[in-house]
Structure 1
């Protein structure tokens, strides 16, 4: 499955979900989580909210959608 990660105000990234590395202690059938996708775009779960269909989702849940929106909560300047 292909997943589009829309980081609001910063761009859009596309990933093949099966190519995203996981942090799941080597479990064979583990699916990437939203936190794994955030790592692919160099963002920390502590600085963003992940939204699916406009609703926040926990970063430790497996990805089960083709489009996510990421909102930065903190931005230096």
Structure 2
């Protein structure tokens, strides 16, 4: 399955994922842990363990600071 993935602030790439991939797999394919980012589909966050059902996603890095 091909998924167009925009990592906000870094660019867009096409990921080749297994048919049974989850959104956590999308995170890992972009080089991030699911704990570092959230995946958005149509502007809404999706659970990391949900199966990928969209051909276009955004990955948003989460920022922690103090």
**1:75 offset after TM fit, Å?**
7.0
Tell me how many residue pairs correspond in the alignment.
Answer: 65
Structure 1 moving runs of 4+ over 6 Å:
none
**Could you state the TM-score of these two structures normalised by the residue count of structure 1?**
0.74
Give the 3-state SS of the residue equivalent to 1:65 in structure 2. Answer: coil
Q: CA separation in 1, counterparts of 2:26 and 2:33?
A: 10
Runs of 5+ unmatched residues, structure 1:
19-29
Q: CA separation in 1, counterparts of 2:26 and 2:40?
A: 13
Q: Which residue of 2 aligns with 1:51?
A: 40
More strand by share: 2
Runs of 5+ unmatched residues, structure 2:
none
